[in-house]
């Protein structure tokens, strides 16, 4: 079983997580930019972070047989973020790129409706947009809009495997992305595989699981023209001699 986690924060996770993900079938992942637990004090702090997401993290992931890609997202509901979202969607239109947008953690139905309004106002094609962190209250309006629907599987909050299976039964497997959104908080990067197993146990066939866990994220992000999934990453091939800008995953000199 191949798994493509379309929303994760591996900068917050350990190399043990990469190993466990690979063992559970993960071969590719998209990392979203993430907060630090508090607002950043300067826009300058983003530069080094972005460089790490474009350099160090892909190197680290590849050492464990997983391809690493990255994007960015917004997830609050303030006038400032409303304006920032509109501007970023305009950038997506100008550059022909797909866009991933968080829905707010609070007052989700209202926030999702407003997000869909901003998407429509931007002029971006709805099939180039995925709205993430959805639930039973928001999935219908998102799929009806023509956008993709994203769901984050969490141990105690957001979505569970059983709830996700019921949504897939009701709404089908087209234009649906399932992710772990694993970060430094209470989360689990193996939730994608557990959702896949729950789908099989509920009677979904392997083709449906493959569609949700691999083909759908490849199809969505592939619209960028920049996604090249490497079939050669069949096995993890840690290279004890390789490094990135003089740093490596080795510890202790061995």
| Residue 117, in any domain of the structure | yes
| Residue 254, pLDDT above cutoff 50 | no
79: which residues sit within 8 A by CB, 6+ positions away? Answer: none
Average pLDDT over residues 192-212: 98
| Residue 142, in any domain of the structure | yes
| Residue 151, in any domain of the structure | yes
8-42 pLDDT, tens per residue? Answer: 999 999 999 999 999 999 999 999 888 777 777 88
| Residue 227, in any domain of the structure | no
Confidence at residue 18, expressed as pLDDT on a 0 to 100 scale: 95
Average pLDDT over residues 171-186: 95
| Residue 44, in any domain of the structure | yes
Adjacent-strand bridge partners of 28: 4, 67
Higher pLDDT, 135 or 34: 135
Measured distance CA(86)–CA(73) in Å, rounded:
12
Confidence at residue 231, expressed as pLDDT on a 0 to 100 scale: 63
**CATH code for the domain in which residue 202 is found:** 3.20.20.140
Report residue 251's pLDDT band, with 50, 70 and 90 as the boundaries: low
Q: What's the CA dihedral at 37, 41, 44, 47 to 10 degrees?
A: 0
| Residue 244, in any domain of the structure | no
| Residue 83, pLDDT above cutoff 60 | yes
What is the domain count for the chain?
1
Average pLDDT over residues 111-118: 92
Q: What is the CA radius of gyration of the chain?
A: 18
For residues 186 and 155, the answer to whether their CB atoms sit within 8 Å is yes
How high does pLDDT run on average in the chain?
89
Confidence at residue 67, expressed as pLDDT on a 0 to 100 scale: 94
| Residue 249, in any domain of the structure | no
Q: 115-124, 170-179, 184-193, 228-237: which has the minimum mean pLDDT?
A: 228-237
| Residue 234, pLDDT above cutoff 70 | no
| Helix-strand-coil split of the chain, %, nearest 5 | 45, 15, 40
Q: 26-35, 170-179, 195-204: which has the minimum mean pLDDT?
A: 26-35
| Residue 76, pLDDT above cutoff 70 | no
Confidence at residue 85, expressed as pLDDT on a 0 to 100 scale: 87
| Domain extent at residue 181 | 3-222
Report residue 73's pLDDT band, with 50, 70 and 90 as the boundaries: low
Higher pLDDT, 175 or 84: 175
Confidence at residue 232, expressed as pLDDT on a 0 to 100 scale: 61
| Residue 241, in any domain of the structure | no
């Amino acid at each position: 079983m191949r798994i493509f986690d379309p929303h994760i924060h591996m900068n917050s996770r350990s190399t043990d997580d990469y190993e466990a993900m690979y063992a559970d079938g993960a071969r590719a992942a998209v990392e979203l930019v993430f907060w630090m637990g508090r607002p950043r004090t300067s826009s300058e702090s983003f530069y080094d972070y972005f460089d790490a997401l474009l350099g160090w993290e892909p190197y680290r992931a590849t050492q464990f047989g997983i391809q690493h890609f990255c994007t960015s997202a917004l997830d609050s509901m303030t006038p400032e973020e409303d304006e920032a979202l509109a501007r970023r969607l305009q950038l997506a239109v100008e550059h022909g790129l797909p866009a991933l947008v968080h829905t707010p953690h609070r007052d989700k139905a209202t926030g999702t409706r407003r997000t869909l309004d901003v998407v429509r106002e931007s002029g971006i094609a709805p099939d180039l947009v995925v709205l993430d962190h959805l639930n039973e209250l928001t999935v219908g309006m998102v799929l009806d809009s023509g956008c993709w629907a994203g769901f984050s599987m969490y141990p105690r909050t957001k979505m569970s495997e059983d709830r996700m299976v019921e949504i897939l039964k009701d709404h089908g497997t087209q234009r649906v992305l399932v992710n772990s959104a694993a970060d430094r908080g209470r989360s689990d990067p193996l939730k994608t595989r557990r959702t896949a197993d729950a789908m099989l146990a509920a009677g979904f066939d392997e083709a449906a699981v493959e569609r949700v866990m691999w083909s759908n994220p490849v199809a969505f992000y592939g619209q960028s023209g920049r996604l090249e999934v490497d079939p050669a990453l069949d096995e993890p091939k840690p290279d004890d001699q390789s490094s990135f800008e003089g740093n490596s995953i080795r510890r202790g000199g061995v």
